Structure 1
Amino acid sequence: MAAYTTRPATPDDGAFLADMVVEAANWNSGHRPRPAVLDDPVYRSYIAGWQRPGDAGVVAADDEDRPIGAAWYRLFQADRAAHGFVAIGVPELIIGVRAPWRAQGVGRSLMRELTEQARRAGFARMTLSVERGNFARSLYRSEGFVTVEARGGRETMVRRLR
């Protein structure tokens, strides 16, 4: 397995997080161009104004310190809900890993680090949204996320943190 390190996400990581939103949207080797993904108001909500109060994240970098993946969470309001919204005060996890680094433990490492961070911050649950057919669903299940809603080709999954 190739070497990588992780570090906390900073306000300067906004552009990279946008890249990871595009990676996540293109999980199935389809190619939705960056502008098309980021013009979608829901995808845009995952990064707009990064790093606002309540946002937290982790970035993975290769052995040459190039970012290769990120996981972060945001809080949303009911009137501005994203794909995985379940309730006010429940952070939504967003995760993206560059294609060559997938299935090498990077996503799992990022997810574990971020869920522990959310637990320490006092959150009781974390949510995420995944498209049906996405191979990452098995990762999410193995990390304790369970499906609470399925509609429109997407599943909303929740993990209890305490």
Structure 2
Amino acid sequence: MAAFTIRPATSSDGVFLADMVVEAANWRDGINRPRPTVLADPVYKNYISGWQRPSDSGVVAVDEDARPIGAAWYRLFPQNVQAHGFVATGVPELIIGVRPLWRAQGVGRALMEELMDAARRAGFARLALSVEHGNYATALYRSEGFSVVESRVGRDTMVRRLV
């Protein structure tokens, strides 16, 4: 396994987080949702617009040359803002993306574990996420304690208790 480290996300990571939203949207081989299309989608746009708000927190994985290779972050959304994994006010939604060459090498798991620790330290009792049906990352989410709380056409909302 190649070496990587994890650092806190900063306000200057906004462009990279947008890259990771695009990666997350393009998880399926053979499907290419162009960057402008993904970032124009109002829901995907909500995951990065105005990064880094006071309630935002995230982590970035970097390779041995300090190049970013993946990120996980959470945001709080009010009920009237579109988000794929919204479950309740006060429950942050986790967003994660990893560059394709780094998938299945422990990067996603390490990012999630670090972010869950940060959310716990910040006093949150739960984290939510959304995953499209068929996405192989569902197995990772289940192994990290997330369970399906809502299933809609094409995607599931999952929640993990942190306390």
TM-score, normalization: structure 2? 0.99
Alpha-carbon deviations, 1:39-98, whole Å to 9, x = none?
000000000000001000000000011000000000000000300000000000000000
Q: Which amino acid aligns with 2:61?
A: A
Tell me the equivalent position of 1:11: 11
Whole-angstrom CA distance in 2 between matches of 1:15 and 1:81: 21
Contact kept in structure 1, 2:127 and 2:159, CA below 8 Å: yes
TM-superposed deviation, 1:152? 1.4
| SS at 1:88 equivalent | coil
Whole-angstrom CA distance in 1 between matches of 2:148 and 2:55: 24
| SS at 1:12 equivalent | helix
Tell me the equivalent position of 1:118: 119
Question: Gaps spanning 5+ residues in structure 1: where?
Answer: none
| SS at 1:80 equivalent | coil
Give the alignment of 1:55-74 within 5 angstroms: 55-74=56-75
Give the alignment of 1:4-153 within 5 angstroms: 4-29=4-29, 30-153=31-154
Whole-angstrom CA distance in 2 between matches of 1:151 and 1:59: 30
Alpha-carbon deviations, 1:84-139, whole Å to 9, x = none?
00000000000000000000000000000000100010000000000000000000
Contact kept in structure 1, 2:42 and 2:82, CA below 8 Å: no
Whole-angstrom CA distance in 2 between matches of 1:65 and 1:123: 30
Count of equivalent residues = 162
* Structure 1 residue runs of 4 or more that deviate by more than 6 Å after TM superposition: none
Give the % identical residues. 72
TM-superposed deviation, 1:18? 0.0
TM-score, normalization: structure 1? 0.99
Whole-angstrom CA distance in 1 between matches of 2:46 and 2:13: 15
| SS at 2:80 equivalent | helix
Question: Gaps spanning 5+ residues in structure 2: where?
Answer: none
